[in-house]
Amino acid sequence: MAIPTIHVGCTHFARGRLQALVNCKGFYPVACVDINLDAAQEGLESLEGDLPEGLGNRIYTTITEARERHHAEVCLIYASTPVHAKLVVESLNLGLHTLCVKPIATTPDEFREIIRVRKAHPDLMLVQGQNKRWNPAASKMREWLRGSDGIGEMLGGECRFWIRQNLWRADNSLYPDAYVEGIFFHAATAHQLDQLVAAKGLPRYVTACVHQREDHEIARTGVWGTAGGQALLEYPNGAPFCYTGTNASHANPFGWSGHWTFHGENGDIRRDAGHLQLFRKGECVEDCQLQDLHPGLIEDDRLQFDAFADALSTGKNQEWLQETTLGTWILMEACNRSARTGTRVDVERLRAELMDL
Ligand SMILES: NC(=O)c1ccc[n+]([C@@H]2O[C@H](COP(=O)([O-])OP(=O)(O)OC[C@H]3O[C@@H](n4cnc5c(N)ncnc54)[C@H](O)[C@@H]3O)[C@@H](O)[C@H]2O)c1
């Protein structure tokens, strides 16, 4: 049975997530939340499909007000990045299972506050929304990294990502991705490396640097940690993994999914977005072109919401969903800490600092 859900954020990218909620089977929207009521109303009117009757009359400016008036068990948060942490805290304190799009927090203090509240509600699920691990191409890569028919133990790998992302809004204001320090790892790299964490968990150590590139045409204004970054991840078995990413580049060859190679005990993987190849003993033994990200990412979020609903209803993958998506936040923060301090960061120690409160 579908689970009653409050949806936060009804315009721009958030509006598409509301469409994904309408499209999914596991949840249904009982109320919406947005500080801009008129724009939210317009957002709702533009949705397609079977909307619950009267949803347009159930838009509120806070989650608390929505929850006071309607029974709900889940809250999906797609408001602007700087308000994520306070909305996650509000949602958990209202007793709602919560999924908040990455990054759920923008500083370690915000993250610790979330974890403190989560510990006070151990029966609630808390997930960082990571919509790019669900499409068939990402799922295939995960299967080859984890399954018995894949590459076996990972011995090394790399991911390269580049895109030209314009962070000016139509009204000449800036997206938070242009001015929140250290947001590149949390908001861009998270899209790729979440797929690695989902398959292989957290590395033992991270050493990272950020790019200081300025390109005012696309709102690269020189704020620390917003233009791009590189990282060396070392896994507990000694396997190194290299990451290079920038969204101040001139082309977009493999989009948000990037280009990957992996070396393993039993084989190697090459992936360019939706094109994946598995090699063994010098031969390509599997070559497939699979659906990568869907246009508008609505289907990607529909898949994510149904997986979250399934975890709540059946218990399946609950721990994996929570621990790996929060783990991605910790890994991104480890990159920032390493880049700020010029040191190799012990990821397990940072995880304990942020989680064992
Ligand atoms: N996962 C992805 O692929 C992906 C892609 C793009 C954007 N995002 C993220 O999704 C989020 C939403 O993006 P957007 O472009 O729609 O953002 P936005 O800034 O346009 O905000 C979305 C809505 O949230 C509302 N809002 C702002 N503060 C609020 C508050 N305190 N309470 C309730 N509503 C509030 C705004 O009025 C707006 O209607 C951002 O965090 C963004 O980084 C994720």
pLDDT digits (tens, 9 = 90+) for 143-195: 999 989 999 999 999 999 998 889 999 999 999 999 999 999 999 999 999 99
* Tokens (6 digits) for 284: 């390509």
1 pLDDT band, cuts 50/70/90, is confident
CATH of 3-124, one of 3.40.309.10, 3.20.20.70, 3.40.50.720, 3.55.40.20: 3.40.50.720
Q: What is the average pLDDT across 216-237?
A: 95
Q: Which residue intervals of the chain bear CATH 3.30.360.10?
A: 133-301+327-355
Q: Which residue intervals of the chain bear CATH 3.40.50.720?
A: 3-124
Res. 253: pLDDT tops 80: no
Q: Measured from the CA of 79, which atom of ligand 1 is nearest?
A: 24
Q: What is the average pLDDT across 88-111?
A: 98
Asked if CATH classification 3.30.360.10 holds for the domain at 133-301+327-355, the reply, yes or no, is yes
Residue 197: per-residue pLDDT: 98
Residue 68: per-residue pLDDT: 98
Centre of ligand 1 to C-alpha 167, Å, is: 14
Q: Is 328 in the pocket of ligand 1 (CB under 6 A)?
A: no
Residue 137: per-residue pLDDT: 97
Q: What is the average pLDDT across 229-254?
A: 91
- 195-223 burial, b at 16+ Cβ within 10 Å, e below that, comes to bbbbbbebbbbbbbebbeeebeebbbeeb
Residue 79: per-residue pLDDT: 98
pLDDT digits (tens, 9 = 90+) for 44-55: 999 999 899 999
Inter-residue contact 58 to 69 (CB < 8 Å): yes
Residues 345-354: contacts with CB under 8 Å, at least 24 apart: 345/205, 345/206, 345/207, 345/208, 346/204, 346/205, 347/202, 347/203, 347/204, 347/205, 347/206, 348/202, 348/204, 351/202, 351/327, 353/108, 354/108, 354/111, 354/112, 354/115, 354/330
Q: Measured from the CA of 297, which atom of ligand 1 is nearest?
A: 3
Q: How far apart are the first and last CA of the chain?
A: 36
Q: Is 233 in the pocket of ligand 1 (CB under 6 A)?
A: no
Residue 255: per-residue pLDDT: 84
Residue 206: per-residue pLDDT: 98
Mean pLDDT computed over every residue of the chain: 96
Share of the chain above pLDDT 90, in %: 94
Centre of ligand 1 to C-alpha 78, Å, is: 5
Q: What is the average pLDDT across 290-317?
A: 97
Closest residue by Cα to atom 44, ligand 1, is 101
Closest residue by Cα to atom 24, ligand 1, is 79
pTM for the full predicted model: 0.97
Q: Is 34 in the pocket of ligand 1 (CB under 6 A)?
A: yes
Q: What is the average pLDDT across 123-149?
A: 97
247 pLDDT band, cuts 50/70/90, is confident
Centre of ligand 1 to C-alpha 79, Å, is: 3
Q: Is 131 in the pocket of ligand 1 (CB under 6 A)?
A: yes
249 pLDDT band, cuts 50/70/90, is confident
Q: Is 101 in the pocket of ligand 1 (CB under 6 A)?
A: yes
Q: Is 247 in the pocket of ligand 1 (CB under 6 A)?
A: no
Residue 252: per-residue pLDDT: 73
Inter-residue contact 196 to 278 (CB < 8 Å): no
Closest residue by Cα to atom 20, ligand 1, is 12
Centre of ligand 1 to C-alpha 184, Å, is: 17
pLDDT digits (tens, 9 = 90+) for 2-15: 999 999 999 999 99
Share of the chain above pLDDT 70, in %: 100
Residue 164: per-residue pLDDT: 87
Higher pLDDT, 220 or 61: 61
Q: What is the average pLDDT across 231-241?
A: 98
Q: Is 66 in the pocket of ligand 1 (CB under 6 A)?
A: no
* Tokens (6 digits) for 151: 């590459």
Centre of ligand 1 to C-alpha 77, Å, is: 8
Measured between alpha carbons, how far is 51 from 29 in angstroms, rounded to an integer? 8
